[in-house]
Chains A and B, each alone.
Chain A
Amino acid sequence: MNKTEKGRVSRRRLLNWVALLSTAVALPARAWAAVTRPDTAFGATALDQALMALGETPTRHEGVIFTTPDIAENGAVVPIRVEVDQTVLPNVSKVYVLVEMNPNPLAAVFDIASGTEVYIETRVKVAQTGDLYAVVESDGQLFMASRETKVTLGGCGG
């Protein structure tokens, strides 16, 4: 497996990405500079390693509303939703999704433009039954919610 490919974006690809977005929209360079890929966190192979790479240990917060299925029909496609109640947890600028039992727990990072509601839905791979985490960053601090999702094997030999 080529470690260079997994989760690491070369400088050239980053510039291509910026160029692509620039053709779509004229934004000040400063706005893009803020959005760097947390390579170390993506490369971490254990949950606590990944969280350490993102910052401190997150605190549980009821303002993070995390929806995952109790039991997934298949681990390759697990729908999740992360919402934030802005009345109790304002200024959320980032959302991280982690899957504890995956080889690399950090699955996705979402950068939210200020003033945008935090409402994200996506589908992730969950290697085996375990906890999923939604971690949000608000004013430099990390808050989270977690839920266990059971993963089943289907049919007769999968």
Chain B
Amino acid sequence: MAGRIKIRAQKKGEMTEVKALMRHPMETGMRKDQAGESIPAHFITDVAVLHGDQTVMQAHWGAAVSANPFLGVRFQGGQAGDAVRVVWTDNQGGTGEGETTIR
């Protein structure tokens, strides 16, 4: 799993709306697999949304965020063509990033 993120960013009047879907199992550490072995906790712990070089929002997540997490945010400003990025890191040291431009 390569830390993929699918992002859409759109102008909504004055605001820019960002919708991001992230590829991640968000394993809580409380499940057992088919063989009865514990599946280790594996979840995104930190995620940030950036508009150009500004961090618009940063989050700390626990394993209770759903698998293949979705994140939607809005921020003031932004112009069509501006870069929007989403980055994450997880409890096992993995990272993910994705980028799009505002439509």
Contact = CB atoms under 8 A, between A and B. Distances in A.
Asked if A and B touch directly (CB within 8 angstroms), the answer is: yes
Contact of B57 (A9, A21, A38, A113): A113
Contact of B69 (A9, A78, A122): A122
A113 B71 CA distance: 16
Given A13-B45, A37-B60, A108-B65, A113 B73 contact: no
A81 B92 CA distance: 28
A35 interface: yes
A123 to B, nearest CB: 4
Interface in A66-89: 76-79, 81
- Interface of B (DSSP majority class): strand
Interface string B30-61: 10000000101100011010100111111111
Nearest to B67: A76
Given A120-B73, A121-B70, A110 B57 contact: yes
28 contacts: A1-B38, A5-B29, A6-B28, A7-B45, A9-B46, A13-B93, A17-B45, A24-B50, A24-B53, A24-B97, A25-B53, A26-B53, A76-B66, A102-B64, A104-B62, A107-B62, A108-B62, A108-B65, A110-B57, A116-B73, A116-B74, A119-B74, A120-B73, A122-B65, A122-B72, A123-B66, A124-B65, A125-B65
A81 B67 CA distance: 17
B61 A108 contact: yes
Contacts of A104: 62-64
A87 B15 CA distance: 17
Contacts of A2: 29, 40-41
Given A6-B63, A25-B50, A122-B69, 12 more contacts: A6-B41, A13-B93, A16-B95, A20-B87, A21-B87, A24-B53, A37-B60, A104-B64, A108-B61, A109-B61, A117-B15, A117-B74
Interface residues of B, number: 44
B91 interface: yes
A124 B74 contact: no
Contacts, number: 145
A24 B60 contact: no
Nearest to A12: B93
Given A109-B59, A111-B57, A124 B64 contact: yes
Given A5-B91, A76-B66, A108-B61, A24 B38 contact: no
